[in-house]
Amino acid sequence: MTPDYQTMRSAILSLTHGETNAVALMATVACEVHHAHPFSDWTGFYRVVAPELLKIGPYQGGHGCLVIPFSRGVCGACARTGEVQNVPDVDAFPGHIACASSTRSELVLPVWNGAGTLLGVFDLDSNTPAAFTTADEAFFTALLADVFRDAN
């Protein structure tokens, strides 16, 4: 089952047009993606709140971890390296933080504003192994760049 990327993109860009507040943008993106992506069971953001520290931001789904240091887990690896982390089997990821025992795979992308500031990471968790594709990576990388370009 492939997500309807074009409909998702159109809805998100329409809803976020003209908005620059990062938390408002994150809330909207998390809600829309959670309801539109067939494999995302937990969809949300971890915001950079201090050097080397992420805190949970707007999300959809069950409870998430409240605090994640850059040194731990998939989200921390994404924030630390600035690179997309597509993990088909979270149990095989060294240092994975099990915020939910049902999570089998995870996709985490860095969220940058147009000035090159790391605002946080966008995290999609799935109870399906190997749920996320390179098409997901490309779609979300481009979408996040467009949505958060002017964010503060």
pTM more than 0.75: yes
Residue pair 136/144 in contact by the 8 Å Cβ criterion:
no
Could you give the CA distance from residue 84 to residue 92 in angstroms, rounded to a whole number? 17
- In angstroms, the Cα distances linking 78 to 43, 71, 101, 128, 134 are 15, 10, 21, 21, 16
Domains and CATH numbers, the chain: 5-147 (3.30.450.40)
Q: What is the mean pLDDT of residues 31-49?
A: 97
Owner of token pair 């025992």:
101
pLDDT digits (tens, 9 = 90+) for 27-37: 999 999 999 99
pLDDT at 33: 98
Q: Which two structure tokens, joined as six digits, stand for 51? A: 């050097």
* DSSP structure string for 87-123: ES-GGGSTT---SSTT--EEEEEEEE-TTS-EEEEEE
pLDDT at 102 over 90: no
Could you give the CA distance from residue 115 to residue 138 in angstroms, rounded to a whole number? 21
pLDDT at 70: 98
pLDDT at 150 over 90: yes
Question: Comparing 99 with 34, which gets the higher pLDDT?
Answer: 34
pLDDT at 97: 85
pLDDT at 15: 98
Q: Which residues contact 21 (CB under 8 A, 6 or more apart)?
A: 151, 152
Question: Comparing 98 with 7, which gets the higher pLDDT?
Answer: 7
Q: What is the mean pLDDT of residues 62-75?
A: 95
pLDDT digits (tens, 9 = 90+) for 1-15: 889 999 999 999 999
Could you give the CA distance from residue 127 to residue 85 in angstroms, rounded to a whole number? 17
Residue pair 15/24 in contact by the 8 Å Cβ criterion:
no
pLDDT at 100: 81
Could you give the CA distance from residue 41 to residue 35 in angstroms, rounded to a whole number? 9
Q: What is the mean pLDDT of residues 65-71?
A: 96
